[in-house]
Amino acid sequence: MSRIRVAAVCAATLSLALTATACGGGSPTGGGSNDSPKTLTYWASNQGASIAVDKKVLQPELDKFEKKTGIKVKLEVVPWSDLLNRILTATTSGQGPDVLNIGNTWSASLQASGALLPWDAKNFDKIGGKDRFVESAIGSAGATGKDPAAVPLYSMSYALYYNKKMFKDAGIAEPPKTWDEVVAAGKKISKGGKWGLAAEGSNLSNNIHQVFVLAKQHGADWFTADGKPDFTSDGAVAAVKQYVDLMAKDKIIAPGNAEYAQNQSLSDFSKNKTAMVLWQAAASTFKSQGMSEDDFGVVPAPVQSGAPGQGRNVNSMVAGINIAVFKNTKNLDGATKFVKFMTSDEESKLLNKTYGSIPPVKAAQDDPAFDAQATSVLKKTLGTSAAPLPQVADESQFETAVGTAVKELFADAAAGKPVTTESVKAALTKAQQSMPNK
Amino acid sequence: MTTTATSPAEAGEGRAVGKNSPGAAGGQGRRPGRIRRIGLPYLLLLPALVLELLVHLVPMVMGIVMSFRELTQFYIREWSTAPWAGFDNFKIAVDFDAPVGQAMLHSFLVTCLFTVASVGLCWVIGTAAAVFMQETFAGRGILRAIFLIPYALPVYAAVITWVFMFQHDNGLVNHVLHDQLGVTDKPSFWLIGDNSFYALLTVSVWKGWPFAFLIVMAGLQNIPKEMYEAAALDGAGLWQQLRRITLPSLRPVNQVLVLVLFLWTFNDFNTPYVMFGKAAPKAADLVSVHIYQSSFVTWNFGTGSAMSVLLLLFLLVVTGVYLVITSRGSRGRKTADV
């Protein structure tokens, strides 16, 4: 074996091992400017059934904006799976879009990176003021006590969707309001290959949304007031156990749901295999999968039985998409104008109607379209009983650590292994220990 | 090492070429000719060297620098301003009493087991198929093409298809194992829990053995047919021919093949990531995805880089030891042959 070959192999090894973490990099330069006032690049998140659908929805609006302002907007619709990585890369390299959509749960994490333009009073004035937006939506646009890092664009909340025919066949007259009623109804339905409730056990974000709400209902938060992880409180343990027990103990969720992560539970619902699903704005998906609006009902997501108590009637997280301006933009004024346009009453109504979401703009919510069966519950939940996920810089780590713990507990439940208070606590302790030390 | 043995021969050849080359013909032409002879290869190599520098060496050095910095979401925008962490990131990565170190160790051990199993199976299946394909028979060309399909398919499409097949409720694997053959009591989970290791191994071997097949097949072409004919005359059976002729002759080929398969499998990111996403089940938590998760999902780029550097050192040591052992083996054998 020649030395040259040894050296070549060593070099290849080096590059294989290191390029994974070293890609990206370089220092971004300064803040925004107005060097390029005639164009904007916009990264839209994938909201519709496909990227092509999104382009079809958004392009006419962008043309409208160009006609109004003379600014051409270059649109790129980015799939959810790529969006966060794309934003991270843009942040490190400084080469990103001018305007972009972000998941609202990422707001505080991205705010910490300093990549996004802060929305102080002056910037908010340019788009009509902060008061135009629903309070809970603003609450999910950045860390408490700081200027928001983004502006709410589409809002969503969770609701309980139920299959009317399956309920009727099982002799259940009323849709459930509490978790006890969900379990009771689920047990009546769960037989002969049909199941009561659906879950997405391998989807970390979905797991987080569910256990966040349940923890609130048990009077617990996932972070202390000063932003430290608090994953092992009795309330948090009870929340995770209650969620996983729906499969492990109550047996109203099919074991196969433990490996679901690609919205398969919505297909099961449409195919009359599962009678209930907790989801954000699922009506359009059900319709696209062959259900008519009369086939399913939408009611508020369940709470605990009895009188839940102050602050415990939370039944949804504040879900949604925010629009943000990249700090490195070369068209700061144009970007602000574009945010103003996208969050105007008119556009807010139009886009939210198309996507089946709720406008975070108060004035736009008055449109009768948002009082339909499918949307009125979401709107009411958002206004009265939804809470934003913890707006802390470590939110992304929290989703991974706790979301994975719930995924593994679901895997245990599916395999018939016991899920106990101790095993839940152990999983959450490990999740908390893996969070960065402060 | 073999270098010493081959150098004089190479040098001799170099001189011979020099004598016959037009540049060396006249006394005056000698100097510019030599410059051209020495300079031209480097000139031709220059674009590749520059690219190599930009694409590999610069990011590599940056990766090493990052491993010594406290690089989290607070600093990614201006990562060069991240505070120095000294060896803290390395300490976190190898602190086996703490969860991060424990998870890293677990992931490392899973990867070692996975790599040994995958490379072993790829090699055995690839070699068996190549030996089998030496015989001429009708349809050999078609079969050979079929064998190479997994190697030619795009990884993403192939692995996603496997994911469909491994699904608990509607997957083909459970349909065959449980519904048709009745091998299992109830449908198994392949994408979560302990079985995920075997699912990953299956896909890895399916994807990897055609490469072994291809390389071994190429190696077999170089073994003179006369050796087999002579062995057959001496009464050697197929097994003896395989043990005494085929495998020893394939040794140099296998030496490189196993090393390449080892490096590819140990660092494979695509297969586990497409199969399990960013949070792989514990049983199939390969180190490449684990490092990705540390860096890009939990935004701990410093610790992720430190883990990469450690992995690199491990691979360098293993590669070095492997090369020394295998080259000693071949030198010893050559001496014995003489």
pLDDT per position as a tens digit, B272-298:
999 998 889 999 999 999 999 888 887
Is A88 a residue whose pLDDT tops 90?
A: no
- What is the arithmetic mean of pLDDT over A354-375? 90
Produce one character per residue of B2-27: b if its CB has 16 or more CB atoms within 10 Å, e if not: eeeeeeeeeeeeeeeeeeeeeebeee
- CB–CB of A326/A115 below 8 Å? yes
Question: Of the candidates B77, B100, B292, which has its C-beta nearest A113's C-beta?
Answer: B77
HEC assignment per residue over B301-328: HHHHHHHHHHHHHHHHHHHHHHHHHHHH
Contacts of B97 in chain A (CB under 8 A): none
Q: What is the pTM of this model?
A: 0.84
Give me the percent of chain A exceeding a pLDDT of 90.
69
Is B5 a residue whose pLDDT tops 80?
A: no
Question: Of the candidates A10, A115, A204, which has its C-beta nearest B279's C-beta?
Answer: A204
Q: Range with the lowest mean pLDDT among A213-222, B9-18, B43-52, B67-76? A: B9-18
pLDDT band at A278 (very low <50, low <70, confident <90, very high): very high
Q: What is the ipTM of this complex?
A: 0.83
Tokens of A168: 């009727």
Q: Do A18 and B312 touch (CB under 8 A)?
A: yes
Q: Range with the lowest mean pLDDT among A55-69, A318-332, B23-37? A: B23-37
Give me the percent of chain B exceeding a pLDDT of 70.
86
What letter does residue B193 receive in the DSSP assignment? S
Contacts of B278 in chain A (CB under 8 A): 204, 400
Maximum separation of any 2 CA atoms in chain A, in Å: 80
Question: Of the candidates B77, B293, B330, which has its C-beta nearest A115's C-beta?
Answer: B77
Is B27 a residue whose pLDDT tops 70?
A: no
Helix-, strand-, coil-residue percentages of chain B, each rounded to 5: 80, 0, 20
CA distances from A352 to A383, B26, B189 (A): 16, 84, 39
- Taking the C-alpha atoms of residue B182 and residue A375, their distance in angstroms, rounded to an integer, is 47
Q: Which of residues 102-161 of B touch A (CB under 8 A)?
A: 103
β-strands A296-300, A158-163: how paired? antiparallel
- What is the arithmetic mean of pLDDT over B89-108? 91
Q: Range with the lowest mean pLDDT among A129-133, A168-172, A365-369, B138-142? A: B138-142
Tokens of A357: 């979401």
pLDDT band at A332 (very low <50, low <70, confident <90, very high): very high
CA distances from A59 to A52, A70, A73, A270, A360 (A): 11, 15, 9, 31, 22
Q: Do A400 and B6 touch (CB under 8 A)?
A: no
pLDDT tens digits, B179-205: 899 888 889 999 999 999 999 999 999
* Chosen from B80, B292, B299, B321 to mutate, greatest number of chain A CBs within 10 A: B299
pLDDT tens digits, A150-179: 999 999 999 999 999 999 999 999 999 999
- What is the arithmetic mean of pLDDT over B144-168? 91
Q: Range with the lowest mean pLDDT among A20-24, A183-187, A347-351? A: A20-24
pLDDT value, residue B31: 56
Contacts of A404 in chain B (CB under 8 A): 279
- Taking the C-alpha atoms of residue A132 and residue A141, their distance in angstroms, rounded to an integer, is 14
Please, which residues have CB within 8 angstroms of residue A384's CB and are 6 or more apart in sequence? none
- Taking the C-alpha atoms of residue B109 and residue A82, their distance in angstroms, rounded to an integer, is 30
Question: Of the candidates B60, B76, B99, which has its C-beta nearest A88's C-beta?
Answer: B76
Is A3 a residue whose pLDDT tops 60?
A: no
Q: Do B2 and A1 touch (CB under 8 A)?
A: yes
Question: Of the candidates A3, A17, A21, which has its C-beta nearest B301's C-beta?
Answer: A21
Q: Do B291 and A20 touch (CB under 8 A)?
A: yes
Q: Do B79 and A401 touch (CB under 8 A)?
A: no
Q: Where are the alpha helices (DSSP H) in B81-234?
A: 88-94, 99-132, 140-152, 155-166, 172-174, 196-221, 225-233
pLDDT band at A266 (very low <50, low <70, confident <90, very high): very high
